[in-house]
Structure 1
Amino acid sequence: MSLKKKVKELKRDLILEEASKLFQKEGYENMKVAELASNVGVSVGSIYTLFGSKENLYNNYILNQIDYYLEMLEKNIKDVNDPYEKLKILTNIKFQAFISHKNVLHLGVNHPLFYVNTYNFADEDDVMMEVYRFISENIMEPLRKHITTSKSSLEMTLLYDSISTAMVKHWVIVNDDLMQKNDELLESFLLLIKNR
């Protein structure tokens, strides 16, 4: 890699790191690109040259967060054999991630940008497909072996994601205790996937 490309990557990473702090502190709507530029010591034009728009900068922030939480999930379930315990760990990490980024989530409940631009389900290399594959293989497939279900591990993953995301949206709207919803989520999910 040329020195110029390395410098560009470092600059991009620095901007994204500071943007993450501002998105978390201010939320999407209130985060100002001019403040970001000033904090990092670059021009507003440099930010738009690297990211194209505030929306793309936000999407890059989301993608970084997804990568981070996937790494956390991998680390935390590595030595766990019980599939129910793995599911609890997944739920705790997901809920904790949303709690720690609540300012950014106010955008999510009412705004079409909420993760939608990060998904490209037709692309096997899409970051969300990577997350879904990991959860399917490492959490849902072992769980399938302990329960009776006709659902595939990917279908289980997508159902889990739908239910947990609905609970997060409800939490943002009513501002109750999301971490207390952990058992309720697991119970609802298991009822949905089990054959009767």
Structure 2
Amino acid sequence: MKEIIKQKVLETKKNLVLEEISKIFESEGFSSVKMQEIANRLGISVGALYKLFSSKEEMYYAYIEYQIHRFHTLLLQKCSTSSDPKTCLQRYVELKFEVFASKRKALEDPVVGDPLFFVKMNTQKNDPAKPIFGFLADLFQRLDSVEPLKEKNYMKLAYLFNAFTMGYVEYWIHYGEKLDENAARVLEAFLEGMKA
């Protein structure tokens, strides 16, 4: 029991620190900030910071994982008021664009500039986005019963949809236009190619 309590305290501490680290990375980026600066801003020692994260890279992966979990929680909240899969897919697009637009500085960092960054992270770090893909796959399966789709592998559809919407984000990052695409239009463009 003592070990469980100790683990919960550590997780809570990590989440509080990640909340503050999120503000730092999203206002200043990742590469330019040193561990000492982060510790100073958090009001803790560098040693205490290294007890939570063994390296700056581990901290960044934890930050991304934390943001993915937050996104999943928000998505479930936004979809809790609707049983319509199409509405929930549209809310996914809206939320994705909103979240990425609010994190521009963090996304401009050279570390994340690697187009395969999220793919690499998912394969190296136990796929933190898996629950989101599972949720999307379930939505596509439900949608398929109403509007038949060509692809019957719903998990594959979830990954394709993620990549399709990510294309809008990447374009926005590289060309600087506003990320205010119409979510309904984006969803319809994807579904048009997937209709049976």
TM-score range, shorter chain: 0.7 to 0.9
Q: Partner letter of residue 102 of structure 2?
A: S
**Which residue of structure 1 lines up, in the alignment, with residue 131 of structure 2?**
130
Structure 1 residue 40 displacement after superposition? 2.0
Structure 1 residue 34 displacement after superposition? 1.2
Structure 1 residue 102 displacement after superposition? 0.9
1:119 aligns with 2:125: no
* Runs of 4+ residues deviating >6 angstroms: none
**Which residue of structure 1 lines up, in the alignment, with residue 16 of structure 2?**
14
Task: Give the whole-Å Cα distance in 1 for the aligned partners of 2:7 and 2:130.
Answer: 28
1:193 aligns with 2:194: yes
**Which residue of structure 2 lines up, in the alignment, with residue 147 of structure 1?**
147
- SS of the aligned residue for 2:129 comes to helix
How big is each residue's C-alpha offset from its partner over 1:64-121, in whole Å with a ceiling of 9 and x where there is no partner?
A: 1111111111111112132221111110011111011111111366236733443138
Gaps of 5+ in 1: none
Q: Give 1:47's match in structure 2, choosing from 46, 49, 53.
A: 49
Gaps of 5+ in 2: none
Task: Give the whole-Å Cα distance in 1 for the aligned partners of 2:28 and 2:119.
Answer: 21
Q: Partner letter of residue 57 of structure 1?
A: M
- SS of the aligned residue for 2:117 comes to coil
Change (3 A) 1:74 1:180: same
Alignment of 1:171-190 (within 5 A): 171-190=172-191
Q: Percent identity?
A: 30
Q: Partner letter of residue 145 of structure 1?
A: S
Task: Give the whole-Å Cα distance in 2 for the aligned partners of 1:68 and 1:184.
Answer: 25
Say if 2:141 and 2:154, in contact at 8 Å, map to a contact too: yes
Q: Partner letter of residue 155 of structure 1?
A: K
RMSD of the alignment, in Å?
Answer: 2.4
Task: Give the whole-Å Cα distance in 1 for the aligned partners of 2:124 and 2:46.
Answer: 32
Q: Partner letter of residue 89 of structure 2?
A: L
Task: Give the whole-Å Cα distance in 1 for the aligned partners of 2:171 and 2:29.
Answer: 19
Change (3 A) 1:147 1:170: same
Say if 1:14 and 1:40, in contact at 8 Å, map to a contact too: no
Task: Give the whole-Å Cα distance in 2 for the aligned partners of 1:176 and 1:40.
Answer: 34
1:65 aligns with 2:39: no
**Which residue of structure 2 lines up, in the alignment, with residue 162 of structure 1?**
163
How big is each residue's C-alpha offset from its partner over 1:98-157, in whole Å with a ceiling of 9 and x where there is no partner?
A: 01111111136623673344313895xx321121112211x2122112222231221211
Task: Give the whole-Å Cα distance in 2 for the aligned partners of 1:52 and 1:191.
Answer: 46
1:33 aligns with 2:35: yes
Task: Give the whole-Å Cα distance in 1 for the aligned partners of 2:155 and 2:82.
Answer: 20
How many aligned residue pairs are there?
192
TM-score (norm 2): 0.85
